[in-house]
Each structure stands twice: as C-alpha cells, then as structure tokens.
Amino acid sequence: MGSYGTVSLAVPGRSSSAWFPSPACVAVKSAEIEHSDSLQYEERFLYSLRGHPNFVHCYGTDISLEDDDEVVYNLLLEYAAGGSLQSLIDSRQEETMMSEGEVAFYAYQLLVGLSDLHAMGIVPCDLKPLNVLVFPMQQNGLNRLKIADSGLAIQDGKIEDYDNEFSMKFRGTLQYGSPESLTGIHQAPRDVWALGCITVEMITGESVWGEWCNRADLRIKIETQEPKIPENVSVFCKDFLSKCLNKDSKGRWSAKRLMTHPFFLRNLAPVIYWTKVDCDYQLPENPFGYDDQWVNNKDLFSTFNRDSYYDCMDDETEYAEAVQII
C-alpha cells in the first residue's frame, strides 16, 4: 500500500491469549508514524463505516514500538480469506471466466456499497479490483465483496492536502479513471465509471483499455477513445455497461439507479437469494476481546522485548513517555 506502508497478517501468538480470546486473524496496515497521514485519514472514514456489510471492517488503531525504536501506526482490519477481487479475476482461466450471473452478483454488491457511500457524500476515488476484498461464503461457492482502502476518498467535495502525492489533480489509479477525473473532477460518477471498468475485467479478465500501455498513452485513450464493451455478453449486460461507461458524466446512471437495471433483475432472480445473503451478514467479532467494537491501544503489536527494554530504563514512566506521540 502506497510508498511507505505495508500490510501484514496478524495471527494469535501462543502467549497472547489475553489479547486474542478467539482464533481470528486480522490484517494490519502499518506505516511509520511520520508517514502515517494517509492511514490516519483512512481511519476516519473506516470509523464512520464500521459495521456496514459492504465495507471492510476496521477494529481500530494501534501505536507500536519496534525493535529498532521505530514508532509505527497500525490499522486493524478484518482478514479477507479470499484475497482481493484482482486475485480472484487473475485466478480464472479463459474457459472458467465468471458467468454473467456471478458478475452481476458481485457488481450488485459493489453498487450497494457505492450507493451508500455517495449518499454520505463520500467518493472513494480509487475503486479497483485490488481495493475490493473477497470473503468466501458457504452458498454456491460465491463470495461476499467488501470495498477497502479509503486513503484517497473525498467527503463532501473536500480534498485533504496532507501530502503532495495525494493532492495532485488526478486521484486514484489511472486505468480506472474517468475522463472528467483527468481534469481533477472527483464526484460520484467517477466511481460508477470505475465499476464499469471492473465489470468488464470480471467478464473478460482484461482491462477495458486492452493491453498495457504507458501512462501518457493511457490518458490519450481515456480522453479520445470509447471503452471497449465485450461482444459475447447479453444485451442487458451491454446496456448496463453503456450506462456505467458513458464518457459524459452527466449521462451516467447513479449507483442507486443502476441497482434497478434489468441486468440485475434478469441475473439475480429470484431476488430472495440476495436478500438471504444480506440477512445472513453478522458483524465480525472483535478478536481483541473488547466489548466496544473499536480498539484504540498502544503496543498491541510491539516487537521489542519489554523485559530487556525496561531493564535499560529507570521506570515504566520513561517507557510510557517514549510512546506518547499522539
């Protein structure tokens, strides 16, 4: 993630039963404290979205002190056993690409999440398969998808210029950028465009813009060419994609409106199936044993040896002062 961060899988340690009363694993996004503005920015969005079935759940934050005296900021996230939507797409061969029914099932879940985000005034700005996590379900081998990574999100049209890398006119990943986003216009329709690009990838396994090209050529394609809609799909799917990939942002359907498109009415019938999936959702149990669903701790993941470290200090107060950085 980004230039400074890492993502790790945290598993219960043999001596950590007090911290891990359940065997759950968690994903930990980490960055040195001086480079953690993006994570802290993301934390604010994840806190407001906690408990929503279509967004990755965040358990809270942690500040840790590492062996090299490095202070690290951590986001504690639910672990997606199925990896990312990108890995799911890459795992399919030509003869086993997703059916329209499976594509519709996944696209609908993303639309539910986008519709709720847009209603809250939030534009993710970086919707792409790599930022969609996969949670395997028991029914029919399908998966629940959750939107993740809000580090570039904008709320109510406000851009937080905490770093030059994130205050450029274009935000996000160019391959999924809409024509208007190239000029710095970041509103809800750009996410709908990205959803269209993702849908094409789920169907074909390839980018809507074809083979890889450099950024300059890709910008020209986005500005001057029409995105390629697959031929070997139903008229319903083609029409759905045309509503997502309209180069005129004002002509694109909203996420809420797209949820009523015949593409879904045809492929998700009976709709009772989706309703059952939605009702089956349960808030992930907090693996840290907190009654509160939000953890705000220090040294949960510290790698230094406390005993030897304290031996070098006058008292624990000195240690406490060493990690009081926010």
The residues carrying an active-site annotation are 126
Q: Angle formed by the axes of helices 188-204 and 235-244, to 10°?
A: 140
The Cα 92–Cα 111 span in angstroms is: 23
CA dist 117 and 78 (Å) reads 20
Torsion, CA 285, CA 113, CA 132, CA 50, rounded to 10: -30
Contact present, 23 and 47 (Cβ < 8 Å): no
Please state, as a whole number, how many other Cβ atoms lie within 10 Å of the Cβ of residue 124.
28
Structure tokens at 319: 């240690």
Per DSSP bridges, beta strands 154-155 and 122-123 are antiparallel
Pairing of strands 295-298, 58-65: parallel
CA distance 220 to 206: 19
Evaluate whether 276 touches 144 at the Cβ level (below 8 Å). Answer: no
The CA-atom distances, in angstroms, between 8 and each of 1, 47, 82 are 11, 20, 15
**CA 167 from centroid of its chain's CA atoms:** 20
Q: CA 238 to CA 266: how far, in whole Å? A: 13
Cα–Cα distance between 10 and 28 in angstroms, integer? 7
